[in-house]
């Protein structure tokens, strides 16, 4: 039961959700990735609301590294993402893990940096796969 879970268990579920999201629907997969160290989730409690903080460090290894190095470019890139969102809703919803999924999806929609990464990956997929 999600209501009975402690906060650490909910955070672990959210970390897995984020990791699965990073690995699905893209040709580039995170490399050098440790789910416990590379994704940090904190919840700041207040009387009326909660704030969810998300910090992630994700390294992507580019395809064809030898070709990339010919142009004296790095063959992997690390993206540091920091985001926060305000979670305000009825108390039962805040106690549920769904508030974390909502906050993550909301942060993803509002963060211009993440949108640009998604657009770049989609563009690469279209060029490579179609």
User: How many CB atoms sit inside 10 A of residue 85's CB?
Assistant: 20
Q: How far apart, in whole angstroms, are the C-alpha atoms of residue 74 and residue 44?
A: 37
Would you state the pLDDT for residue 95?
A: 57
> Which tokens hold the place of 45?
């409690």
Q: How far apart, in whole angstroms, are the C-alpha atoms of residue 98 and residue 93?
A: 7
Cβ 52 vs Cβ 100: under 8 Å: yes
Q: What pTM was estimated for this model as a whole?
A: 0.55
Average pLDDT across each block of 10 residues of the chain; the chain has 130 residues. List them in order. 72 86 77 83 77 87 75 80 76 61 68 73 77
């Amino acid at each position: 039961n999600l209501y009975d879970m402690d906060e650490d268990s909910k955070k672990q579920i959210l970390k897995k959700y984020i990791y699965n999201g990073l690995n699905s629907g893209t040709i580039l997969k995170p490399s050098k990735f440790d789910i416990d160290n590379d994704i940090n989730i904190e919840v700041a409690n207040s009387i009326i609301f909660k704030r969810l903080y998300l910090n992630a460090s994700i390294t992507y290894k580019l395809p064809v590294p030898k070709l990339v190095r010919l142009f004296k470019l790095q063959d992997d890139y690390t993206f540091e993402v920091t985001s926060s969102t305000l979670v305000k809703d009825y108390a039962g919803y805040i106690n549920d893990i769904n508030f974390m999924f909502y906050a993550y999806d909301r942060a993803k929609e509002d963060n211009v940096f993440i949108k640009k990464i998604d657009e770049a990956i989609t563009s690469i997929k279209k060029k490579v796969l179609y």
